[in-house]
Chains A and B, each alone.
Chain A
Amino acid sequence: MSSTTTAGTAPVGSGDVVVRLRGIGKTFPGVIANHDIDIEVRRGTIHAIVGENGAGKSTLMKILYGVQKPDSGTIEIDGEQVSFSSPSDAIAHGVGMVFQHFMLADNLTVLENVVLGAERLHGIGDAAREEIRRLSATYGLDIDPDDLVADLGVGARQRIEILKVLYRGARIIILDEPTAVLVPQEVEEMFDNLRGLKAEGLAVIFISHKLDEVLSVADTVTVVRRGTTVATLPGDSVTSRQLAELMVGSELPSPSTEASTVTDVEVLEVADLCLPDPAGGRPLLSDVSFAIHRGEILGIAGVEGNGQAELVESIMGMRPAATGRIELNDGDIAGWSTRRRREAGIGYIPEDRHRQGLLLDAPLWENRILGHQTRRPNVKGPFIDRAGARADTERIVEAYDVRTPGIDTLARALSGGNQQKLIVGREMSGEPSLLIAAHPTRGVDVGAQAAIWDHIKQARREGLAVLLISADLDELIGLSDTIKVLLRGRIVGTFDPARVTPQQLGSAMTGATEEETQS
């Protein structure tokens, strides 16, 4: 699959190409993180790189910053081909990175933080102080070298991080999700700073999945999807709706819909589900109501961070603050513990399998027990039934085609796709009546993806109710019987996947045209 660069003309405010990535590829065991990445960044521009979580943005930036080496492709900085083996190589070539999480010592002054690790450049005294003042004035960063970091707000800390990379001589600055930690006014200030950097002839690479912000500041936007660059567009002539479509797009094998198996027997009913924000902001979920029937797959679409994870965790009983009614097979489960809900027949494929789905340093058969540690064949009374659990793990490995040398292999050693197949097999055992699948094919290879789709369709034929959360619109449209769109913790639209287009879903997801969504 080749990249489809749709921008033929040079974007506004362009200069020489300072960064040129060609055919960059990076493979981890069993997962292709990046392939055929082509990006050109010009001097004096802000170049945004957008894509869903897991699309491969972080790996790409780690490659550009020398944290990881690409398996294929070339990197050119100022026309010279380079090969970075560490971030210090990258800095030596003028590439600096500002991480999402600040790396500042609170009890030191700005000056001390900036010179830390770069003492050779301008010493640690007045020369360094002078240089910081000069940079601050040149780029409008408004930073006093003698302030104590502990006294400064988040916005100022971020400017210190930017100043740190400038101090080290960066001409190309990568910012990883810089707005995630800022409030709206600070975002505006930071964008002004970025424009200042641009005006001084620096190149800024800005990683984000917040489309509106990207459009307000970027000269050029490159969209990354499933590990590769799918389009590069000028920032002033593209809409957030177009970007959303490109981000979730339609290309790889898409699951095909089958004849409806939906019955009128309600398995899960959620009514008026609310979840307040512990930090006191907008509620994470507001009045979410829906029902899933036997043999039905309900798809939840939405841009990441609009309440999907919270919805799943509320149904699983992992969010005690959630209010509202949750009924499973006509029994109210709202006050139940996670374990009791699982025992009542909820299978759960979590969105982050390393965090929530596996014990990475335990063998496969112990992972088979996880989440099912109160049920046969895993336990007999208070004891673990090793023979039973091992035999059943063999069954899952066989039936779900988990590629492994054996069931004593540690979960960590398997590829993402095989880990996920094990989880799917585990969650389908014990005769669940409801399966919650959050991003079931994220980060898995194409083969495993098709297999997992088949298993979910099989589950539906067998009469399970399935709640499917996905950022991949093809997956949602191909598998679901109904699609609901979640935006800012509310359900803002219900669609029939047989008739909806990715464009319609895309606009509902971004809230661009809310009135159109009630189709």
Chain B
Amino acid sequence: MTDSRMTRIALAVAAPVLALVTAFVITSVVLILAGDDWLGVWGQILSWPSNRTMVNIVNSATVYYLSAVAVAIGFRMNLFNIGVDGQYRVASFAAAWVAGEAWLPGYLNIVLALLAGMFVGAMWAGIAGLLRVTRGVSEVISTIMLNAIATAVVAYFLRKVAIRTEGSNIISTKPIAEESRIPGIPFLGGEIYGFVVVAVLVGVAYWVVINRTRFGFDLRAAGQNESAAVASGIDVKRMILVTMLLSGAAAGLVGMPLLFGQDYAYGSTFQSGLGFAGIAIALLGRNHPVGIALGALLFAFLDQQSNPLQILLDVSPDIVKVTQGVIVLAVVIAYEVVRRYGVRIEQRQVAAALDAETREKEVSA
């Protein structure tokens, strides 16, 4: 491992640490200004979680992780897929409907439903990709709009296929049969989603494809410098479309742990907003599969640890949204500061190495 690589790793760690410290300071200031027991809040949040909370953290992180990977795929080629939120809801609904219809038995039904979810997610994101490639519509705008449309489309179709629970206003798709559910994995006396295995596989696949394949190289090159990518022979338009499809397919998996491990149906109470958390976590994790995992765990940890705040200290758990928000803002700034610093260090290293070389030549001459 060379020096410049070591420096780069050290700098990569420095930025999130800096951001975390900033976030804790600012959150503390908010708490103090509001006259809350800020030490008590941190005492609760930073306490060692109970086993039950641990299980919840892992479960919640699994979902966040998938969402952030979906966003990160787009980020790697400079595409801002803000639409993961809509994509996973459309996909979850489609998968829930397919799984509920139970055309295939047992695990085959799960596979079919997952494929259906990924396909629908990819198509929903593909609309934005197609608009960008053919008409130059910014994917930021189109995916945000597609989020709103997704809400309406899902509500419409849900009403078409839904069954109503007796004596309640909640409607949902047909529940998935016992035999087509994904069993949990025992963990600290509780059970975590079996889907955590899939999430890990998705992370590995993401890393391999992006970093080790020709396709991944093309994708990163197109993201870093579009005109150089064109000159190197990459069909950038095709890459944009394919990247959006992949990002959408990954987004299609976001709701699956909930669907097959907890809710077993898609209904009006299905968890929403996961796509936006994914954007923040992808930024925090620098689009790196391990970084994203740590970011997802951190966000899940803050969420779960803040739940009892209301009961214990009469502080709204929403305070951690402030922390999370500041983390993301700070991390964006910190990465930029650290990047510039890194470039300067590297230029100095280059200059130093060249000076040494010149001196050697002079001595030997």
By a beta-carbon cutoff of 8 Å, the part of chain A in contact with chain B is 29, 316, 318, 337-343, 348, 350, 355-362, 366, 369-374, 379, 382-384, 386, 403-406, 408-410, 412-415
> A338 near B343 (CB under 8 angstroms)?
no
Q: A318 with B217: in contact, given A29-B351, A361-B224 (CB under 8 Å)? A: no
CB-defined A-B contacts under 8 Å, sample of 8: A337-B233, A338-B230, A340-B233, A357-B228, A362-B221, A383-B214, A384-B217, A404-B350
Picked from B224, B230, B346, B357, the residue with its CB within 8 Å of the CB of A409 is B346
With A371-B233, A404-B353: A379-B214 Cβ-Cβ less than 8 Å: yes
Residues 318 to 350 of chain B near chain A (Cβ within 8 Å): 343, 346-347, 349-350
Q: Take A316-B231, A318-B231, A357-B231 as given contacts and tell me if A362 and B347 are in contact as well, using a CB distance cutoff of 8 Å.
A: no
- Given contacts A342-B233, A408-B2, is CB(A384)–CB(B228) below 8 Å? no
A406-B214 CB under 8 A given contacts A359-B228, A360-B225, A370-B232: no
CB distance from B320 to the nearest CB of A (A): 33
Residue B349 contacts which of A366, A372, A405 (CB distance < 8 angstroms)? A405
> Contacts of B5 on A, CB cut-off 8 Å?
408
How far, in whole Å, are A63 and B350 apart by their CA atoms in the complex?
A: 26
Does the CB pair A382–B215 fall under 8 Å? yes
Bound CA–CA A366/B223 (angstroms)? 14
A346 to B: closest C-beta gap in Å? 10
- Cα(A342)–Cα(B229), bound, Å: 13
The yes or no answer to B227 lying at the interface (CB within 8 A) is yes
B228→A356 contact, CB < 8 A: yes
Contact check, A413 vs B346: say whether CB atoms are below 8 A apart: yes
Shortest CB-to-CB span from A514 to chain B, Å, is 33
B198 on the A face (CB < 8 A):
no
- B-chain residues with CB within 8 Å of residue A412 when the two chains form the complex: 343, 346-347
Cα of A341 to Cα of B349 in the assembled complex, Å: 38
A384 & B212 in contact (Cβ 8 Å cutoff): yes
Contact between chains at B233 and A338 (CB < 8 Å): yes
Q: Are B227 and A355 in contact (CB under 8 A)?
A: yes
Q: Which of the residues B224, B232, B347 comes within 8 Å of A413, measured between beta carbons?
A: B347
In the assembled complex, B213 has its CB within 8 A of some CB on chain A: yes
- A359 to B216: give the CA distance in the assembly, Å: 14
Q: How far is the CB of B262 from chain A (nearest CB, A)?
A: 37
A369 to B217 alpha-carbon distance, docked (Å)? 9
Contacts of A343 in B (CB 8 A): 233
Residues of B within 8 A of A348 (CB): 231
Cβ of B228 and Cβ of A413 under 8 Å apart? no
Closest to B348 in A: A413
Chain B residue nearest to A414 in the complex (CB): B350
Residues on A with beta carbons closer than 8 Å to the beta carbon of B212: 383-384, 386
Q: Complex formed: what's the CA distance from A370 to B353 in Å?
A: 26
Give Cα distance in the complex from A426 to B215, angstroms: 20
Q: A361-B224, A408-B5 are known contacts. Are A373 and B232 too (CB-CB below 8 A)?
A: yes
Q: Does B350 lie within 8 Å of A338, measured CB to CB? A: no
The complex places the Cα of A45 from the Cα of B212 at a distance, in Å, of 61
Residues A409 and B217 in contact, CB atoms below 8 Å apart:
no
Indicate if the CB atoms of B228 and A405 lie closer than 8 Å: no
On chain B, the residues within 8 Å of A372 by CB distance are 232
What 8 additional pairs, Cβ within 8 angstroms, besides A343-B233, A348-B231, A405-B2?
A: A341-B233, A342-B233, A355-B227, A379-B214, A384-B213, A404-B353, A405-B349, A408-B5
Interface size class of B (residues with CB under 8 A): 20 to 34
Q: Is B85 an interface residue (CB 8 A)?
A: no
A386 to B214 CA separation, bound complex (whole angstroms): 11
Q: Decide if A370 touches B350 in the complex (CB within 8 Å).
A: no
In the bound complex, CA of A370 to CA of B354 (Å) = 25
Cα-based distance from A403 to B218 in the complex (angstroms): 27
Distance in angstroms between the alpha carbons of A414 and B231 in the assembled complex: 21
- B217, B221, B343, B349: which has the most chain A beta carbons within 10 Å? B217
Answer yes or no: B234 CB below 8 A from chain A CBs: yes
Tell me whether B235 and A374 are in contact (CB under 8 A): no
Given contacts A348-B231, A357-B228, A382-B215, contact A409 B343 (CB under 8 A): no
Judge whether A406 and B354 touch: CB under 8 Å: no
- A369 to B, closest residue via Cβ: B217
Report A435 CB to chain B, min CB distance, Å: 14
B224 and A359 within 8 A (CB): yes
The residue of chain A having its C-beta at the shortest distance from the C-beta of B347 within the complex is: A413
Asked if B231 contacts A356 (CB within 8 A), the reply is: yes
Asked if B225 contacts A358 (CB within 8 A), the reply is: yes
Check: B51 CB closer than 8 A to any chain A CB.
no
Cβ contacts under 8 Å, B217 to chain A: 366, 369, 373, 384
Of A29, A316, A403, which contacts B347 at CB under 8 A?
A29
A403-B357 in contact (CB<8A): yes
Q: For the complex, give the distance between the alpha carbons of A338 and B237 in Å.
A: 13
A319 to chain B, nearest CB (A): 11
User: B211 to chain A: which residues have CB within 8 Å?
Assistant: 384
B272 within 8 A of partner (CB): no
Q: How far does the Cβ of B211 sit from chain A's closest Cβ, in whole Å?
A: 8
Docked-complex contact B4 and A406, CB < 8 angstroms: yes
List the B side residues contacting A361 at CB < 8 Å. Answer: 224
| Alpha-carbon separation in the docked complex, A341 to B212 (Å) | 25
Nearest CB of A to B225, in Å? 5
Query: What CA separation (Å) do A406 and B354 show in the bound complex?
Result: 11
- In the complex with contacts A29-B347, A405-B353, A384-B232 CB distance below 8 A: no
A413 contacts across to B, CB distance below 8 A: 343, 346-347, 349-350
By a CB distance below 8 angstroms, the chain A residues around B232 are 338-339, 342, 370-373
Neighbouring B residues of A414 by C-beta, 8 Å: 350
Q: Is A350's CB under 8 angstroms from B221's CB?
A: no
Residue of B221, B232, B234 ringed by the most chain A CB atoms within 10 A: B232
- What residues on A are CB-neighbors of B357 within 8 Å? 403
Chain B residues within 8 Å of A382, by CB: 213-215
Docked CA distance A403–B221 (Å) = 24
In Å, the complex CA distance between A339 and B343 comes to: 31
Q: Report the Cα distance A342→B351, complex, angstroms.
A: 34
**Chain A residue nearest to B234 in the complex (CB):** A339
Q: How far is the CA of A360 from the CA of B78 in the complex (A)?
A: 15
Q: How far apart are B4's CB and chain A's nearest CB, in angstroms?
A: 5
The distance in angstroms between the C-alpha atoms of A68 and B211, with both chains bound, is 39
**B350: which of A358, A386, A409 is its contact (CB, 8 Å)?**
A409
Partner of A403, one of B2, B225, B230, B354: B354
Closest beta carbon of chain B to A130's beta carbon, Å: 42
Residues of A within 8 A of B225 (CB): 355, 358-360
Residues of A within 8 A of B227 (CB): 355-356
Task: Please name the residue on chain B nearest to A352 by beta carbon.
Answer: B227
State the CA gap A280–B236 with chains docked (Å).
25
B346:A339 contact, CB within 8 angstroms? no
Q: Which of B212, B220, B347 gathers most chain A CB within 10 Å? A: B347
Nearest A residue to B1, CB-CB:
A408
Q: With A356-B231, A373-B217 as given contacts, are A362 and B346 in contact (CB-CB < 8 Å)? A: no
C-alpha spacing A429/B194, complex, angstroms: 49
Residues of B within 8 A of A404 (CB): 350, 353
**Cβ contact of A359, chosen from B221, B235, B354, cutoff 8 A:** B221
Known: A374-B214, A383-B214, A384-B214. A338 touches B231 (CB 8 A): yes
Query: Please, what's the 1-or-0 string for B222-256, where 1 marks a CB less than 8 Å from any CB in chain A?
Result: 00110110111111000000000000000000000
**Shortest Cβ-Cβ A-B pairs, 4 listed:** A339-B233, A371-B232, A405-B353, A413-B346
* Complex: chain A residue closest to B225, CB-CB: A359
Chain B residues positioned under 8 Å from A337 (CB to CB): 233, 235
User: In the complex, A252 Cα to B155 Cα: how many Å?
Assistant: 73
How far apart are the CA atoms of A135 and B230 in the complex, in Å? 48
| B223 → chain A closest CB, angstroms | 9
CB-CB < 8 A to A357: which residues of B? 228, 231
Residue in chain A with minimal CB distance to B209: A382
Contact of B221 among A341, A355, A370 (CB under 8 A): A370
Query: What 1/0 mask marks residues of chain B from 185 to 228 whose CB sits below 8 Å from any chain A CB?
Result: 00000000000000000000000000111111110110011011
| Cβ B4 vs Cβ A405 within 8 A | yes
